[in-house]
Amino acid sequence: MKMMKHVKKQNKSTKETLKSSLTFKWVSLVAATITVSFVIFSIAIYSLVKQQIVSQERNLTESVATTFQRRLVEIPTSLQISNVVPQLSPNTNRILEGQTPITSNDGGNVFNDDVLATLSNRDTSITIYNPSGDVVFSNGNVPDNGMPHFSKTENHVLKVETTKGKIHMKIYQKIFSDKTRRLTGYLIVDNSMDQQNHVLKSIRNWMIGLSIIAIIVFVGLSYLIVNSVVQPIKKMSQISHDINEDPTNKRRVPDLHRNDELGELAISFNEMLDRMQAYMQQQKQFVGDVSHELRTPVAVIEGHLNLLERWGKDDPQVLEESIQASLQESKRMKHLIQEMLDLTRAEQVDLQYPDKTADVNEVLNRTVNDMRMIHQDFTITYDDSDLAPDTIIKIYRNHLEQILIILIDNAIKYSTDRKEILVDAATEKDKVKISVQDFGEGIAPDEQDKIFNRFYRVDKARTREKGGNGLGLAIAQKLVESYHGKISVSSTLGSGSKFMIEFPLLKSKSENK
């Protein structure tokens, strides 16, 4: 019972999804639009044709009625079969009386053969009544409803009627004798319009047929078009659903081979997934690296505290050593945490300091002087001969200082015997280039790419001794790139390294001149 309910529910939800699906909505809309347009168009065309036919037939029927009336008014007495037939067919009468037949030379349109032609027309039936309502002549079926009801003032009535989808028209005409002005009878011209009804029926059938074909063709076409749009969207939706379930899923939208907005959407959708997964991977890696880096100082401090707990309390030497070591480790940890914070902040500087600028010469002079003060055993030379005066770049000055400190600090850390550092700044076209060079241990070519990665150190044990966490260059790179600059290194193992950075020039005095 429960199962049945579940299946029913599922069926219902499938039906609902089908109804709310884009394809269904779109195709229904197209079908409805085409149907309505075709119905309106068909009705308009049909009405126009029908109107035209009715108007033509009305003229024809009227002219038949007039022709008959003209002949019948010549009969002075009440209409009877004996005076009506000779009047309608004077030829017959003349031949019976032994006279020559009427020729076209005799003139007088009343006596032409139109009347006879009309009598033989299968669609038009003519019935003539005497004043008392008895049929005196008919060329076809006598109308069922017989004599018309004229209102007092009427002599002539025209009725257009539609029965069972067929149009027909009738003219009721009172006949007055030309001579006596007395009512001599009645004339009914009934045009069944069979031929025209047949034509109209054909038009109707054609239009219905064409409408059905058009609806099928357009619905089919719109289904194909809509499907070609909806399929990629469905794919993207399926892929995002899969990635929602498993964020490491490597599925991507396949190449759609189309140059339209959907093709672009698919490409940027894939790029977005790539970036998102790379970012997630980076975060994971970062958390792993951080916990790994923090584990060592924590373990060292813990070791010393254990040592103190067991023996150190009473041994002043152990106590002193352990306190010093723990202090050093906690300082290192503080430094590491500060560097990690700097790295995180370096990724968002563009948003935080969008309008800050710095005077390159001023910042470099100050930083180099500060570094000279701290490291008096080093000769730090600053060459600004190629730097245009008042060179301004788009960067928050503390960040430029931070980058320089990282580079000069490294140059000092990794210098060997030759304690000399060259800092150079130059303006080149629309760029400002700054370099920091040392003559120390240098970096092997295969390491040069990796040194900008977080926590990467060429010689872990040695750099740890020097207090390095492997974050300095990563921070410098993030900062430089956040301000649309570039950072690179050229180095020879054993001879020293040169770190180069460049920024887009905002303005300088030489430029203003």
Which residue among 468, 480, 485, 501 contacts ligand ADP (CB under 6 A)?
A: 468
3-state helix/strand/coil string of 15-27 = HHHHHHCHHHHHH
Nearer to ligand ADP, 232 or 472 (CB): 472
400/473 with CB nearer ligand ADP? 473
Tell me which residue has its CB nearest to ligand ADP.
468
Phi, psi of 386 (to 5 degrees): -100, 10
The DSSP bridge pattern shows strands 420-428 and 379-386 to be parallel
- Name, in order, each residue with C-beta under 8 angstroms of 335's C-beta and a sequence gap of 6 or more: 467, 469
When the beta carbons of 26 and 456 are compared against ligand ADP, the nearer one is 456
Selected binder of ligand ADP within 185, 232, 297, 470 (CB under 6 A): 470
**Among residues 80, 121, 463, 488, the one that binds ligand ADP under rule CB under 6 A:** 463
One of 456, 481, 490, 511 touching ligand ADP (CB under 6 A)? 456
Residues in region 484-503 near ligand ADP by CB under 6 A: 497
- Which residue lies nearer to ligand ADP by CB, 65 or 471? 471
The CA-atom distances, in angstroms, between 292 and each of 286, 288, 289, 297 are: 10, 6, 5, 10
Smallest distance, ligand ADP to C-beta of residue 489, A: 8
Q: Which is nearer to ligand ADP, 79 or 406 (CB)?
A: 406
Pick from 102, 215, 308, 458: which binds ligand ADP (CB under 6 A)?
458
Cα 81 to Cα 185: distance, rounded to the nearest angstrom: 12
- Closer of 361 and 497 to ligand ADP (Cβ): 497
* Choice from 472, 478, 479, 487 touching ligand ADP (CB under 6 A): 472
Residue 464 and residue 455: Cα distance in Å, rounded? 11
The amino acid occupying position 396 is Y
Distance CA 311, CA 318 (A): 8
Shortest Cβ distance from residue 463 to ligand ADP (Å)? Answer: 4
| Rounded least distance, CB 343 to ligand ADP, Å | 10
As measured in angstroms, the least distance from the Cβ of 386 to ligand ADP is 22
- Smallest distance from the beta carbon of 436 to ligand ADP, in angstroms? 8
Question: What length is written for the chain?
Answer: 513
Distance in Å, CB of 339 to ligand ADP, minimum: 8
Q: Which is nearer to ligand ADP, 281 or 416 (CB)?
A: 416
Q: Render the burial of 309-340: b for 16+ CB within 10 Å, e for the rest.
A: eeebeeeeebbeebeeebeebeebbeebeebb
Nearer residue to ligand ADP within complex by CB, 406 or 505: 406
Residues in Cβ contact with 308 at an 8 Å cutoff, skipping those fewer than 6 apart: 318, 319, 322, 323
C-beta of 416: minimal distance to ligand ADP in Å?
Answer: 10
Rounded least distance, CB 504 to ligand ADP, Å: 24
For tokens 């280039």, name the residue: 433
Among 200, 224, 180, smallest CA distance to 78 is for 180
Choose one: 83-91, 223-231, 233-241, 467-475; the region binding ligand ADP (CB under 6 A).
Answer: 467-475
CA 281 to the chain's CA centroid = 32
**Closest distance of CB 239 from ligand ADP, Å:** 37
**Contact between residue 43 and residue 219 where contact means Cβ atoms under 8 Å apart:** no
Cβ burial of 451 (10 Å; 0-12, 13-18, 19+) is: buried
Number of residues that bind ligand ADP (CB under 6 A): 21
* Binding region for ligand ADP (CB under 6 A) out of 53-61, 281-289, 359-367, 463-471: 463-471
Site string for ligand ADP, 288-327 (x = CB under 6 A): ----------------------------------------
Within 393-452, the residues that bind ligand ADP by CB under 6 A are 410-411, 414, 438, 440-443, 451
Using the minimum distance from each CB to ligand ADP, give the nearer residue, 60 or 443: 443
Beta bridge partners of 431: 428, 504
**Nearer to ligand ADP by C-beta: 52 or 495?**
495
Q: Which stretch binds ligand ADP (CB under 6 A): 72-80, 233-241, 244-252, 472-480?
A: 472-480
How many CB atoms within 10 Å of residue 461? 7
Which backbone phi and psi does 468 adopt, to 5 degrees?
Answer: -85, 140
Residue 353 makes CB contacts below 8 A (sequence gap 6+) with 395, 396, 399
Which residue number, 300 or 458, has a Cβ lying nearer to ligand ADP? 458
Residue closer to ligand ADP, measured from CB, 185 or 472 = 472
Residue 438 contacts by C-beta under 8 Å, 6 or more apart in sequence?
Answer: 410, 411, 412, 414, 415, 420, 421, 496, 497, 498
The neighbour count for residue 468, using CB atoms within 10 Å, is: 21
- Find the binder of ligand ADP among 473, 487, 501, 505 (CB under 6 A): 473
Distance of closest approach, residue 407 Cβ to ligand ADP, in angstroms:
7
Rounded Cα distance between 81 and 66, Å, is: 20
For ligand ADP, which is the closer residue by CB, 384 or 441?
441
Q: Which residues bind ligand ADP (CB under 6 A)?
A: 410-411, 414, 438, 440-443, 451, 456-458, 463, 468-474, 497
